[in-house]
Amino acid sequence: MTKKYDAIIIGAGAIGTPISYELSKMGYKTLNVDKRHDAGEGSTAGSCAIVRAHYSTEDGVATAYEGMKYWLDWEKYLGGVKDEKGLSKYMNTGSILIKSQGHDWRKVQRHYDAVGVEYEEWTNEDVIRHVPVVNMYEYWPVKRPEDPTFFDPPTNELEGAIFCPEGGYVNDPALSSHNTMRAAENYGAEFMFNVKVVDIRSENNKVQGITLEDGSRLDADIVINCGGPHSFKVNQMADGVFEGCNIKTKALRHEVMHCPSPQGYDYLNDGYHMSDGDIGCYYRPEVGNYFLIGSEDPDCDPQEWVDPDEFYSGKGEPGRNNQLTKAQWKAQCYRLGRRIESLQVPEQPKGVVDLYDCSDDWIPIYDKSDLDGFYMAVGTSGNQYKNAPVVGRMMAELVDAVEKGLDHDNQPFQYELKYIAGRKIDMGFYSRKREINYDSSFSVNG
């Protein structure tokens, strides 16, 4: 017997769970399906879960700053729902954006002013006072250790930094998705794990539901693709959806390193999240008094686009699976070693490898599709985790408006932010039909 839902959401990670939560609160009967064994155990589990406001577009800044307000009061967002696993914690360290040639920080500052982001301008001396292990020399352009000029002594100093006191990170991104799942279940949402979608069924250009690998058919008038790195494969299952997207998505392999803090420095408790375009890295505290070090995708770092099925099955080409590569370990740790001269880089790599779901311009697609009833919240990896609670509500309202007759392609839905008074997000900004947005950083910074 085929089971019927109002909306089926493919994926139960950082984006899929808040969409089900918000739709369920609006009275929709929802089901999330996921290949993994529990909520948040896909690429969400590998997220650095950084929460910061700096983006290359004003709408990006506004959405991120709105998201901060949810993380700052996580229990309120969940509606007081308890989780047997406990609640994830927002570590409000503050976020430091280094003023460098690697970031268009003046544009970011203009966006901060336009949106009303709270921030402080710090001198080099201010940065060193707050983070005593760093130096503020300029090492631009970003290089890799094999470059013969990598260790040349610096001759210039940086210009300081912009400090946002509400930035930080979530200590357990998988747990945060589990929390949101429990909140959604409180409103009747259902979740199904260890299942694989093999078909998006439709008739007369209207979605009918999904078919699972075991042949099970689940019906719904609404299907939402939140498939993370598999998002492009899900779109290809639905008639006309992939072809109807001017902006496409694909899976990018990314490595994040864990390196011990210098002796005598309690980075875990005293450290900040820092975005350092001068060395092409971002970093934040990690359990065990480690630096978590990610690449900001400078030109010198290779990009490895992969098949997510091969990656997660371990069948990918050597060097393209989920094992750290020593070359990238060395590049990211050594670059941080230039900023922190007392950093002791061990020989054995330690960290996380996972996939980003990247759009052509690194700005996500939050949109309907050319197939009636089929929606997308894709291209989100690397820089959208922080926005997940906002995206949940934004997508739920979009779906509701379109299902009630809104011609979103010609009159884009205007989403009114909850915490930033008087500001709306024109969701045409996230359209599948848009042209590539060249204001983007084309990197993890969004």
Instruction: Look up residue 410 and give its amino acid.
Output: N
Given a cut of 90, whether residue 93 has pLDDT beyond it is: yes
> Which whole number is the average pLDDT over 11-34?
98
Per-residue model confidence as pLDDT tens digits over 262-302:
999 999 999 999 999 999 999 999 999 999 999 999 999 99
C-alpha torsion angle, residues 187, 399, 175, 49 (rounded to 10):
-150
- If you average pLDDT over every residue of the chain, what do you get? 96
> Which whole number is the average pLDDT over 139-147?
97
Per-residue model confidence as pLDDT tens digits over 44-69:
999 999 999 999 999 999 999 999 99
Given a cut of 90, whether residue 315 has pLDDT beyond it is: no
Alpha carbon distance 83, 290 (integer Å) = 28
Per-residue model confidence as pLDDT tens digits over 215-232:
999 999 999 999 999 999
Which tokens sit at 432?
């599948």
| Residue count (the chain) | 446
Of 426, 425, 443, 294, nearest to 358 by C-alpha is: 443
> Which whole number is the average pLDDT over 132-138?
98
Alpha carbon distance 53, 99 (integer Å) = 15
pLDDT at position 98: 98
CA distances in angstroms from 279 to 141, 252, 326, listed in the order given: 8, 21, 18
What is the band of 1 on the pLDDT scale with cuts at 50, 70, 90?
Answer: low
Cis amide bond preceding 141, omega within 30: yes
% of the chain at pLDDT higher than 90: 93
What is the band of 316 on the pLDDT scale with cuts at 50, 70, 90?
Answer: low
pLDDT at position 313: 82
Alpha carbon distance 286, 283 (integer Å) = 9
Instruction: Tell me the β-bridge partners of 170.
Output: 90
Decide which of 3.50.50.60, 3.40.50.720, 3.40.50.2000, 3.60.15.10 is the CATH code for 1-90+165-260+291-446.
3.50.50.60
Residue that the structure tokens 């707050």 belong to: 130
Domain-wise residue ranges, the chain: 1-90+165-260+291-446
CB count within 10 Å of CB 101 equals 14
pLDDT at position 443: 87
Collect contacts of 302-307 with beta carbons under 8 A, ≥24 apart. Answer: 303/252, 304/252, 304/253, 305/250, 305/251, 305/252, 305/253, 306/251, 306/252, 306/253, 306/355, 307/251
pLDDT at position 151: 97
Whole-structure pTM value:
0.96
